[in-house]
Amino acid sequence: MMRMAKSLLMALAVGLAMPALAAGFKLEVLQLPADPPGHVREAPGGGRVLASGLLYTPATGANVHGPAIVMLDSGPGAHPLEAGQATRFAAERLAARGYTVLSLYGFQERGYPLIAFPDNIWSIKAAFDYLEMNGYEDFVLAGQSYGAIAAAQYLATQPDQLLDNGGEKRVKAVVLINPLTDVRAFPRIAFGPQGYDAKVAAARASVASGRGLYPTNLEPGQGASTATDPWIAAGAFAQPAEAFLAYWGPEAQARNMALLGRITVPGVALISGGDHATSASVKTGSSLDIVRFDTDAGRFTGAEDAASNAIATWLASHGLGIRPKVTVTTLDVTTGGGRILQGVEYATGNDRHKPVILLLSGRAADSIQSSTHWIGWRLAQQGYTVIAPGMRISGATGFNSSTLAEVKEDVGHWVDKAQALGWQRVVLAGHSNGGIWLSNYIAKTQDKRVVGTIYIAPTRDSPSYARDHEPPGRYDAEVAEARAAVADGRGMDDVIGLMSAQAFLDNNGPDADTVHTARVREFSLPGLSITGNRDGLMTPDFVKDFSAAYKGKLDTIRYDNGTHGLRENKDRLAADVANWMRKRFP
């Protein structure tokens, strides 16, 4: 189905007012390892063949908490710095608006006769890997002309999953600029119908003989020639027979009409006037939005601003617009024993009229690892300051050796820190075990500075959970062993499982303060609970019991696809928390 982006076209026609440009952009040249799995491309004379890239970022600095765009040029023989390439004219303009753009100079541009078409995906994957490892999570893939085919092929064939979440796609949208319909038409025109069939037959014979294969070790000045493979064509088709068939043969994969129908992310096609070769490619099996321009076929000369504006407008309409830049600050507090604890503050402003959110990590996590990070910066972009505190119980070693009394003390120090920074109201949020810790703090202190609670996948009552997951009799034996160790002064030295005897009693003992359904009966605050149907640590019965036990007004949200980590619902969770905050604390 072909759809016209009417609102987008209208916006362009009336001169849509886009956000003001930043003060230019910065440019860096990157060299990325982009080898296929199990194979290293060796460069002549040693080393590896690397994929080059041009990294465009705003002059004010990169925003890793906003979308990043990987952009492909028009393909074999092109260069990403050419004026007519979107990898330059659109990249410069989008970076000036606030986007990060990585314009890729992959293997197909400079060496397509020696690179199989399916291998184009590895330089694209390398670009996404680089950006994700630098902190980006939302991506757009854009391609011009032949690059649009490479983009479609990547999205149609690759899992494309975030490194920290096997279920979420990295690429959220695709932008195709004059996407070619079927590159196989070009050799048919160049050779004529009969000549093309003859070339295909000769290429197949050459491959079958073993002479026309991709070279496995190419030294400077060495390559296929008529001396070794008499099938070789001239001009743009001077390449090994195997490459000819991969790019131009009847079974070639480089066909947008076959690939577009397999793309599941939203997409837009920008098509210049009179470019009939691209029009057909978006008619079959595609749900692309379309924006047309009155410029020469295949060119955007004079329409560079309009094309860049169209991309930015369309991205914004699909939740991929410019986002607030998050300021990340290190905070320290000192415990009663003199130990300094480190935390992180995520903020986009300093509105002290809103409550600050103190976000406690779960068991074995800490202030910069796991949910505290991805929830923190997303809520900051929603207008809330978030503090992810470090505590003595943070991390695997901390959980195994700290006491619940220390957790209560540490939370109190962080509430004091928030107040010292000017926050009069604090909402305590906790993921997993963090929920138990915040409930215990409020129950024990009745701290009036705390005005609300947020539970993200709150764990079950720890003592019953520990008993249920031990063989019959084991739990009672461990409790007896831990009590004896504490009585003999060995509570922090003897180990029960992976925990000290004192930590075991503190968290899992029958008298522990980690019976969550008991603690939430001891205070009355507005609360929010977010859980998931696929959370193996939380039974539906516990979710029901927890909600019934909570003394205050508890709003509940449950995600059908939610696991305990809830990474598959990052944006949704942040939006739900922010909406709840606005409703409860206007």
**pLDDT of amino acid 550:** 97
Lowest-confidence segment of 189-193, 410-414, 449-453, 543-547 by average pLDDT = 189-193
* Mean residue pLDDT across the chain: 85
pLDDT digit string, tens, across residues 198-253: 888 988 988 888 878 776 654 444 555 556 666 666 666 777 888 888 778 888 76
Lowest-confidence segment of 143-157, 187-201, 278-292, 368-382 by average pLDDT = 278-292
Whether the pLDDT of residue 38 is over 90: the answer is no
Whether the pLDDT of residue 17 is over 60: the answer is no
Distances from the Cα of 468 to the Cα of 228, 377, 385, 459, 474, angstroms: 72, 37, 39, 14, 10
**pLDDT of amino acid 435:** 94
pLDDT bin (cut points 50, 70, 90) of residue 18 is: very low
**pLDDT of amino acid 236:** 64
Distances from the Cα of 147 to the Cα of 15, 72, 372, angstroms: 29, 5, 38
Between CA 190 and CA 125 the distance in angstroms is: 33
pLDDT bin (cut points 50, 70, 90) of residue 300 is: confident
- For range 335-346, the mean pLDDT: 90
pLDDT bin (cut points 50, 70, 90) of residue 426 is: very high
Whether the pLDDT of residue 284 is over 60: the answer is no
* Cα–Cα nearest to 309, from 103, 97, 138, 2: 97
Handedness of CA 542, 498, 412, 565 (dihedral sign): negative
pLDDT bin (cut points 50, 70, 90) of residue 369 is: confident
Backbone angles phi, psi at 310, to 5 degrees: -65, -40
Backbone angles phi, psi at 434, to 5 degrees: -60, -30
**pLDDT of amino acid 532:** 94
CA angle 303, 290, 108 (to 5 degrees): 75
Lowest-confidence segment of 41-45, 152-156, 330-334, 534-538 by average pLDDT = 41-45
Highest-confidence segment of 39-53, 248-262, 361-375, 438-452 = 438-452
Give the tokens for residue 529. 């609970």
pLDDT bin (cut points 50, 70, 90) of residue 94 is: very high
Q: At what angle do helices 146-157 and 120-133 cross, to 10 degrees?
A: 70
Q: At what angle do helices 304-317 and 6-13 cross, to 10 degrees?
A: 140
**pLDDT of amino acid 364:** 74
Whether the pLDDT of residue 285 is over 80: the answer is no
Q: What percent of the chain has pLDDT over 70?
A: 86
**pLDDT of amino acid 13:** 32
Pairing of strands 68-72, 139-144: parallel
pLDDT bin (cut points 50, 70, 90) of residue 5 is: very low
Distances from the Cα of 513 to the Cα of 463, 474, 490, 520, angstroms: 9, 21, 21, 11
The region, left, alpha or beta by phi > 0 then psi within -120 to 50, assigned to residue 75 is: left
Q: What percent of the chain has pLDDT over 90?
A: 48
Query: Under 8 Å CB-to-CB from 443, ≥6 apart: which residues?
Result: 513, 519, 520, 522, 523
* Cα–Cα nearest to 201, from 235, 173, 241, 161: 241
pLDDT digit string, tens, across residues 497-515: 778 888 889 888 899 898 9
H-type alpha helices, 433-530: 433-445, 462-468, 474-487, 501-508, 516-519
Highest-confidence segment of 10-14, 419-423, 456-460, 465-469 = 419-423
Whether the pLDDT of residue 462 is over 50: the answer is yes
3-state secondary structure of 344: strand
- For range 472-477, the mean pLDDT: 91
- Starting at the edge strand found earlier in the chain, the sheet holding 426-431 runs 327-334, 340-347, 386-388, 356-360, 426-431, 450-456, 527-532, 554-559
Please name each of the domains of the chain with its CATH number: 3-183+253-317 (3.40.50.1820), 185-248 (no CATH), 327-461+516-584 (3.40.50.1820), 462-513 (no CATH)
pLDDT bin (cut points 50, 70, 90) of residue 19 is: very low
| Residue that is written with structure tokens 């930590």 in the block | 503
